[in-house]
Amino acid sequence: MRKLYLLPLAAVMAMASCIQDEPMNTECDIQQVSLHLETPTEMFYHDYDTLQHVSSTTDSIRFTARSYVSVGSLPLSLRITDRATAYLVQEDGTESLFRNGTLVDFSEARSVRIRVVSEDKAWSRLYSISVINDLPSEGDVMFDFNTYALDATGKYYVWTVTDLNAINGLFAPGDPTWKNGNPGFKLSKSSAKPMEYPTVPMEGEGPDGSACLKLETMGTGAFGNMVDMRMAAGSMFVGEFDVANALKDARKATRFGLPFKHKPVRFSCWLKFESSSNFFQDRKGKPVEGVVDEPDAYVVVYRNQDEEGHPVQLDGDDVLTSPYIVGVARLPHHYNNPEATLPYNGDGDLESNDPIHGVTAEWREYVMDVQYHQEVDPEILANNGYSMVIGFACSWQGAYFRGSIGTKLYVDNVRVVCEQ
């Protein structure tokens, strides 16, 4: 006969207490979005174009279909944070429980709204998901940074592109594809006001009297010192910044580039630079003798698919060194000058007090040709097989948390001229 053993009452109560005391999840994020098609490349350029990993700072998700296909209802699936619930928001504002595989109408570039509610019901987040046809491109890309606003939290500024920019095929109207490190700075200095962040707009101070960007290297306070991230360099780039991984690996959290269908041949921008009287410091905050801070500005063209057909996106570790890079235009520096004889170990330790970038404290236009070391394949180019990066930083070693606090770079009127 099987014997039954009774747990002591105290043990049962303790187990029940553990279950009851487990806090409810407060997260309400979409982590991944996918569209399910039998033959993805009939509508999209690559099989993997139907899947998007969503960064924690993104609430607008866009899929780009081929220009000639008709977009209608597509089966949509989401991966959301544990124990959260997703609702499909109708045009009249009513909501219904969302289930993976639901057919969703994406016709006429319609944005579908999804609201994700945390397990404890105290938090929610609204997302928009759209599938748009690739726009015809006229080649050249122009930006003036005049369209900006505070983010949803009201803490820092974000920039969007205008209808004028949309014709180049890199952005869609209102797309917040310009990214920077402001969300990471918020982690270390949550009390900072919007104009106290490393990347801010300067209304009326551009070379033409309109708004421009100001990028500044700033200290990150006690928290930054504790995690050996003592400074944050102002930056602006095309790509994504995943703030959820910023403390774990800030360079991996910075992902560069978007697919582009034209071959860039020239990069120009208006810049002015204010050097800092503070010493150049390493990641530990110690002075580095003989090294001065310098700005950085570049365009990078790279192959966005590897030999096995997997997607490639550059990050802060390899945005200027990846073997998938086919062309670069960049401000001149000793460290990227093939004729330089100064020691440089590849990780940013440059022994120089004689900058050659030429950026002064007065506004001036800088023009750089894109230097290609590999031929661009026209067929691959036409099928979104290359991506383009546009990047700016006030401290060229800022990604390694090295530089001079107080260094400032102002940026405006960016243009990328493409081969016709």
Res. 18: pLDDT tops 60: no
Domains 24-134 and 136-418 share a fold: no
Which is more confidently placed, 161 or 320?
A: 320
Mean pLDDT over 2-12 rounds to: 46
Dihedral (CA of 284, 290, 294, 299) sign:
negative
pLDDT classification of 356: cutoffs 50, 70, 90: low
Chain-centroid distance of CA 337 in Å reads 28
Tokens of 262: 């034209």
Distance CA 276, CA 292 (A): 9
Q: What is the pLDDT of residue 326?
A: 97
* Inter-residue contact 237 to 296 (CB < 8 Å): no
Mean pLDDT of 391-412: 94
Task: Please provide the DSSP assignment of 143-201 as one string.
Answer: E----EEE-TTSSSEEE---HHHHTTSS--TT---EE-SHHHHHHH-TT--GGGSSEEE
Residues 6+ apart with CB under 8 A from 235: 180, 181, 198, 199, 215, 391, 392, 393, 394, 398
Structure tokens, 271: 């810049």
* % of the chain beyond a pLDDT of 90: 61
pLDDT digits (tens, 9 = 90+) for 70-115: 999 999 999 999 999 999 999 899 999 999 999 999 998 788 999 9
pLDDT of amino acid 205: 96
Give the span between the Cα atoms of 262 and 215, in whole angstroms.
Answer: 29
Model confidence at 24, pLDDT cuts 50, 70, 90, reads confident
Lowest mean pLDDT among 47-51, 175-179, 185-189, 329-333: 175-179
Residue 12 has pLDDT above 50, yes or no: no
Greater model confidence, 49 or 165? 49
Burial class (CB in 10 A: 0-12, 13-18, 19+), 346: exposed
Whole-prediction pTM: 0.78
* Average of per-residue pLDDT values in the chain: 85
| Domain layout of the chain by residue ranges | 24-134, 136-418
**CATH classification of 136-418, choosing from 2.60.120.890, 2.40.160.10, 2.40.128.720, 1.10.3720.10?**
2.60.120.890
pLDDT at 139: 65
H or E element at residue 18: helix 9-21
Find the length of the chain: 420
Residue 197 contacts residue 156 (beta carbons within 8 Å): yes
How would you list the strands of the sheet with 112-117, edge to edge?
60-65, 124-133, 112-117, 85-89, 95-97
Q: Where does the pLDDT of residue 231 fall: very low under 50, low under 70, confident under 90, or very high at 90 and above?
A: very high
Higher pLDDT, 409 or 224: 409
pLDDT of residue 335: 56
Classified by CATH at the fold level, domain 24-134 comes out as Immunoglobulin-like (2.60.40)
Q: Tell me how far CA of residue 188 lies from CA of 29, 145, 317, in angstroms.
A: 22, 26, 22
In whole angstroms, give the CA distance from residue 183 to residue 199. Answer: 10
The residue that leads in pLDDT, 9 or 91, is 91
Q: What is the predicted pLDDT for the residue at 16? A: 47
Q: Quote the pLDDT of residue 403.
A: 93
